[in-house]
Every structure is written in C-alpha cells, then in structure tokens.
Amino acid sequence: MALKSTIFKATLQIADMDRNYYQDHHLTLARHPSETDERLMVRLLAFALHADERLQFTRGLCADDEPELWLKSLTGEIELWIELGLPDENRIRKACNQARQVILYSYGGRSARIWWERHAEKLQRFKNLRVINLSEAATTAMAALVRRSMELHCSIQDGQICLGDASQNLLIEPEFFR
C-alpha cells in the first residue's frame, strides 16, 4: 500500500520591500512521504521570495520533469524554474535549457558546500542560473515552524528575510553561491 501525501495549509503574509510586493497567500502544500519538514519549509520560503499570481507548486518529488515551483508565461513558456536541494548537473542543464531563469536553493550545511565546490566550475556556463544557499541553522529553525495549519509572515528587505509565526521570528540571510 502506497503512503499518501500529508496536506498542510498555510496563510502566508508577504511584505517584500525589495520587489514592492505585498500580498497574503492561502496555500495548500502536499508533503510527499519522503519529504522532510525542512524541505517543506524551503519550498514555502522559495514561494515567498518569488511570489507572483502565476507562481505554482508542481508535483515536485513525484515528477522527474518538473521543478518544485515554476512561473509560466501566458503562452506556456517557463519563465522561472525553482529547484531545491543538491541536484545533479544533468537536471540543472535540463532546467537551464527549458527556462528563462533557474534558481536553485541549496541547503544541508556542509554537504551543500561540498556539492557547490564539486559542481561550481561546470555550472558557471549556465548564464541563467542562480544558486542560493540557506544555512543549516536557518533551515532547522524553519522546520520548527511546521504545523498542519500555519499562519506565517515573511518580510524581505535588502536581501534579509524575516520569517515567523505568532510566537517566533527567524532572521535568514541567504548566501549567494552564484
């Protein structure tokens, strides 16, 4: 018998001063049985950082040919492909060939740094790729915010992110590998 996804509801208030984007989003997230709370929150943070009325969660871990999130034009072209984790070079190449812009959010502490050192030279050729690393301390703290029903706020200013709920606020400073 196959395990089913767990459904999470999130009300996300976004105040992005860097993009002049201020909006509330009511999101439903399906967490694959193999997905961790940490990864779920990285997906949610990626949504907050790129929020747009056309930004969509995809089938994610259930589909090899889709990113975690994407933003498509009205004609169906992929404008933004958002990937998470430490994918192989072939997956990144495929994404860069299909989308106008690709953003990879890496996380995992030391393993993310080792992954970047191993792949940095090869990834330099992709001009439409940005690699943003989230510290292990930040993603671990984000995982502690997970509830089946969440009310979160996210403020973004000068590249710094404040994410929290009614009881705690986290300051997240992403590191730009590329």
| Domain layout of the chain by residue ranges | 6-176
Q: Which pLDDT value is given to residue 73?
A: 96
pLDDT at 1 over 80: no
pLDDT at 4 over 90: no
* Cα(87)–Cα(143) distance, integer angstroms: 21
* pLDDT tens figures, 138-157: 999 999 999 999 999 999 99
* pLDDT tens figures, 86-108: 999 999 999 999 999 999 999 99
Q: How confident is the model at residue 178 (pLDDT cuts 50, 70, 90)?
A: confident
CB atoms within 10 A of CB 81: 26
Is there a contact between 44 and 10 (Cβ–Cβ < 8 Å)?
Answer: yes
Specify the CATH class of 6-176 in words.
alpha beta
Is there a contact between 162 and 16 (Cβ–Cβ < 8 Å)?
Answer: no
* Cα(155)–Cα(164) distance, integer angstroms: 9
The token pair at 136 is 């292990």
* pLDDT tens figures, 32-82: 888 999 999 999 999 999 999 999 999 765 557 799 999 999 999 999 999
**What DSSP line would sit under 26-95, residue for residue?**
EEEEEEPTT--HHHHHHHHHHHHHT--TTEEE--GGG-TTS-SEEEE-TTS-EEEEEEES---HHHHHHH
